[in-house]
Amino acid sequence: MTTWIIRTDEPGDGPRLAVKDAIDVAELPTTAGCQAVAERAEPAAADAPVVASARAQGARVVGKTNLNELCVAADGVNPWTGTPVNPLDPSRVPGGSSSGSAVAVATGEADVAFGTDTSGSVRIPAACCGIAALKTTNGRVPLDGVYPLSPTLDTVGPMGRDVAAVVLGMSLIEPGFAPVPYDASMTIARLRLGAPGFDIDPAIDAAVDDALRRLGPVTDVTSEYYYDAATANGLYVAEEGWRQNARLVTEPPKMSGRIHRRLQQLHDVVEAGRLGWAARVREAIRAEFDAILARHAAIALPVLPVVTPEPDEDDHSDLLLTSLNGQVNVAGLPAFALPVPLPGSHLPASVQLIGPAGGEERLCGIAASLEAALS
């Protein structure tokens, strides 16, 4: 059962909730998908606030889902716990790090799932598995009881088979949450990335463009800081991820060789000491996006630059998967991932809609309108 770390069977008829095993569920251990953590983990004394809120709304926790070890990769591959199977194509990665959460809802084993997102970790598996997901505004959803990777960038967000399921997930976190209907008089800003490092498959770009045209007017925009913000994301993850996980780096390692090497790489980045530069980039891209979002309903671009890849040994696909996503965490803004048709492929593309801080209601309204236009 590679989708799940732990299965539970709670009584009731409320929505079935899958919880990423980086989020505390009372009386169950939180392993972060890693042997080194699991061997030290004790059953959680209480639910994380997001889980407590969901239970208060009648949700039934049906299990804790699989993930990349320590949340530090994006392909969903986990040699220790096993890798969740992508339901659209078993030869492809499920995406991560919230891999099990995506697969649980894609296969109908849960009505909604909670995942975490630091560099794209709800949006990437949603794109790989053909579901919807919402990366929330930094600070909107409490992180108490959540295994930290980078507290500056970490967020918790809902995942579901469609927009309605994601809205359900937000209402479990925030009772009374409701989408704001899309105001078609505000155009969508289509972000074009021409800098090196953003090699987007033309078919993916075309699929996103076709979907957005069905929604309404689109205006092309560019970003001066998107490339630098990708680097800034890596620096924050390195500094804060190393601080959180350095205690786990032992010999022999009790984690996969890939993740052990990656933690050593985080240490090397920390030694370079560039967080001051990262903070300046963070301010710059936030100001840039705020200016765009003052004139447009949302900023749109693909979630993934390529069709969902097959697993590889050299982390190339992992870098591709995160290349368009971590910048949103640096800016601190919400983003909705929604599948769109990719002509000639059995796999979908996925559009990423970025909104203003606290604009989840607006994004859900836009996503609902786009979903309806595509149906």
pLDDT digits (tens, 9 = 90+) for 41-51: 999 999 999 99
pLDDT digits (tens, 9 = 90+) for 261-317: 888 887 777 766 788 999 999 999 999 999 999 999 999 999 999 999 999 877 777
In the chain, alpha helices (H): 35-38, 49-56, 99-106, 123-129, 163-173, 202-215, 226-245, 257-272, 275-293, 316-322, 326-331, 360-374
Instruction: Give me the residue label for tokens 């989408």.
Output: 179
What per-residue confidence (pLDDT) applies to 171?
Answer: 99
Calpha distance 325→303 (Å, rounded): 7
Calpha distance 293→306 (Å, rounded): 26
Contacts with 59 (C-beta within 8 Å, 6 or more apart), sequence order:
14, 15, 16, 17, 112, 172
Which of 214, 327, 339, 259 lies closest to 81, judged by CA? 259
Instruction: Provide the mean pLDDT of the chain.
Output: 95
What per-residue confidence (pLDDT) applies to 352?
Answer: 99
DSSP secondary-structure letter at 198?
A: -
Query: What residue type is assigned to position 368 of the chain?
Result: A
> What angle in degrees, to the nearest 10, is found between the helix axes of 49-56 and 163-173?
100
Strand partners, 336: 134, 353
Show me where the domains of the chain are located.
1-375
Model confidence at 1, in pLDDT bands (50, 70, 90)?
low
What per-residue confidence (pLDDT) applies to 282?
Answer: 98
Calpha distance 221→252 (Å, rounded): 50
pLDDT digits (tens, 9 = 90+) for 213-262: 999 999 999 999 999 999 999 999 999 999 999 888 876 788 888 888 88
- Greatest alpha-carbon span in the chain: 60
Residues labelled as active-site residues: 20, 97, 121
The enclosing H or E element of 354 equals strand 349-354
pLDDT digits (tens, 9 = 90+) for 184-211: 888 999 999 976 667 899 999 999 999 9
What per-residue confidence (pLDDT) applies to 249?
Answer: 84
CB of 226 within 8 A of CB of 189? Answer: no
What per-residue confidence (pLDDT) applies to 186?
Answer: 87
What per-residue confidence (pLDDT) applies to 251?
Answer: 66
pLDDT digits (tens, 9 = 90+) for 103-114: 999 999 999 999
> Which CATH superfamily includes the segment(s) 1-375?
Amidase signature (AS) domain (3.90.1300.10)
